[in-house]
Amino acid sequence: MALVRGGVRYYHTTEAAQRAGISRSTLLRWLRQGRVPLPARRDRNGWRLFTQEDLEQLKTVAEHAEEETD
């Protein structure tokens, strides 16, 4: 479930991955590899929070990854 703070919608890792069309493990691997930038925010539990802008970047990387496998 997305969080809204200050009018900005944030997504946790699992939801961000789902919206980008990739698995959570793929997203975490890409973060470790530096293929996508780390999100700037975390919630009070330390969980990553992705913005819509972050999701657009994830989708772009995912599309390029698909092209590489074709």
- What digits encode the pLDDT tens for the residues 39-50? 999 999 999 999
pTM of the shown model: 0.86
DSSP annotation of 11: B
Tell me the pLDDT of the chain averaged across its residues. 92
Q: Is the pLDDT of residue 70 over 60?
A: no
3-69 has which fold? Multidrug-efflux Transporter Regulator; Chain: A; Domain 2 (1.10.1660)
Position 2 scores a pLDDT of: 84
Q: What percent of the chain has pLDDT over 70?
A: 94
